[in-house]
Chains A and B, each alone.
Chain A
Amino acid sequence: MAPDELQQAWQAEASQTRVTVNADLLLRQVRRNQSDLRAIVFRRDTIEVVVVLLLLPYWFYAGHTHALPWTWYLAVPALIWVGGFIVVYRWSLHVEPLGPDEPLVQCAESALTELDNQIWLLRNVFWWYLLPLGAAIAAFFIQVAWQSATNWLETLVAVPLVGFIVALYYLIYCLNQRAVRRQLAPRREELLELLAGLYDDPIENRAQSDKAADVKPAGLLKRLVIFACLCFVCVMAVRLAYQLSVDRGGTGYPRLAPYSAVRWQESQPEIRIDGQWYKLVSLDDIPSDEIVAFSKKTYGDRWQMRFEEDLVEVLSRMGHPPKETVTLVVQPLTSSKTQVLKDVPMTAKNRAELKAAVRVREESSKP
């Protein structure tokens, strides 16, 4: 059949077809259904940035409230980096999207560019998202395990925690790569095929294909090795910082105390609060005997000094980091009844007075 005859048949058939549209329903449907790929991507990006903005104050609040070690705050620059990266990446690559009424080649090229940007973002999710956050959280777990442990073996408690982070992040990584493999890459192939059929110059088309070849995922093993190296560096940094802090007389924990002086009757601590002396029965429901026993086991000869001056560290290493205020159960020296002192503030002033009292005691004990 000659092409002209095909045209005639086509036109004859078309003349028999009439389309009527329910315009009101169409209008309602358009208003309801505004979500396309671009809107979904924008919504996801917005959610991620908002989550980062909400997490930042929470991170400071939780760190301050629970007196968490400094590695907790490593996540702050990591969060800022992730949120900032999304904003800067989208902003720097933002191109006014073409409407569907533009010529097909321009639409396909525009869609291909958008797709390439999204593929790049997902394929490199390890570098800009998983690595900074994962390393920061792993460093925190390692430091907590280190400081809570009394020997190297106990530090291994961090292994399942870090393993959990690695497994979780591996899952996120796989989900992202799956989205690229199953949704974006096939769509990209379709667009390339379409453009290949439309380009004037096949060389131009080859350039597009070459650009596609640039977007290749790096090896998973390489990423895991880098993650492991970074964790190792974090561990060494934590260890070094901790050692430096200890060498300078610090402990890495806030220097706070709920009492302004301590004296001892054998292994029973007596504490001074608001000028009154009491026997300490318990602190935040932890019996004083238990605290003393832990201090003796962990610090040896220095157990009294640690109990008096480094209470935050002792309690943290026991797994009960104190909050801004503590509840004390005490027994006045003149009575056999116990009292509950609620919301006793942990203050630096108390700790300073306590230290001064220790100095006076040491001076007076010298011959």
Chain B
Amino acid sequence: MTGVLRLALADLRFRALAAGFNVLLLALGIAIVAVLLRLGGQVERSLQRDLAGIDLVVGAKGSPLQLVLSAALHVDVPTGNILLSDAEALAANPLVRQAIPVALGDNARGFRIVGTSAAYPAHYGAALAAGRLWFAPMEAVLGSDAAAGLGLRVGDGFVGSHGLVADEAHHDEEEHGDGDHAEHVEDDEHGHHPYTVVGVLAPTGTVLDRLILTDVASVWEVHAVHDEGTQAPPREITAMLVTYRTPLAAASMPRLVNATTAMQAASPAFEVARLVKLAGFGTDAVRSVAYGLMGLAALGFFATLFGAIHDRRYDIVLLRSLGATRARVFAVVLAEGAALATAGIVAGFALSHALMAGAAAWIGASHRIAVGSALLEPAELWIAAGALALGLASALVPAMMAYRVDVARTLARGPA
């Protein structure tokens, strides 16, 4: 450790309370900005992975954002259903390279059951960790998180429940052995149509991990039970995930769907950008508060160091009389600013990792979205550099005051 740094740290220890309070302020500001950056970065990457290769989501008319969220990201309820015949007609369009059907309606303890085709797992490059893909209705392939969450393996059976989220009250009753369980099975669970697990997917890091995949015909079969005795309605699916054959399709396809069919076309890229912008207003406000905290911390550093220079005038004189040059005294005060900022940066990033670990546990449990805590966003390095610059800037004026102390005159006046 250099003499300058040793002196700087000794003085900060001497003023531990004021220094610690301001370090805490800076750490809080850095932690909030870092968490926002990291969460934003992870959500953005997660969205990019989930929406990769999906140029258009086609579904029932309604909110286009809701359509994308429900059919592509599986975090919202669908806008409705579309006729299979309409969807197949669109899939046959020469501008469409791939059209993946999505049929929603049921869940198994909160994990969505998605009626689809083999093209869906193939689209995300999913590999089987065990078993095989489905060949027939009522065979299911579980995403890795779904398999772990449900505790199911190849060969196990399960039944789906109506709806897309778990019924908490229902499960509470189940766990407590409520006597009305049979009634619930009849009303909400498709107890007469159990699924058989035939495969489990390896983790993909995409939305696929938390889904239960099956044939579209499974969804029709399960729900046909409710309509028994009436004339079979036309086949429906919830949505279709479309990949263009050519980028030129982007110019005409959405308009074609929206203007000439009963369906709605939504561009995931556009809708997600809109969503991020909407969410941005909230995060911008939080970020402003965080920057405010960092600014307050810098003012606190300045006040601490400025006050210390008055308090330490004779210490500075003593240093100079013992052989310290003006530049060295300047460096000591500047090092104090840098040390305060560094402590704030280290504490801030440690706090941000703790917050992210908490957020990962909470979001993962409540929203079934994977959020990590270990990643470092490149922009965080700029935050660190900015905080260090703040620390140095706050020390600049006190350092100049230390530099300008007139040793002889101060000594001639004598200590107070």
The answer to whether A binds B is: no
- Residues of chain B at the chain A interface (Cβ within 8 Å): none
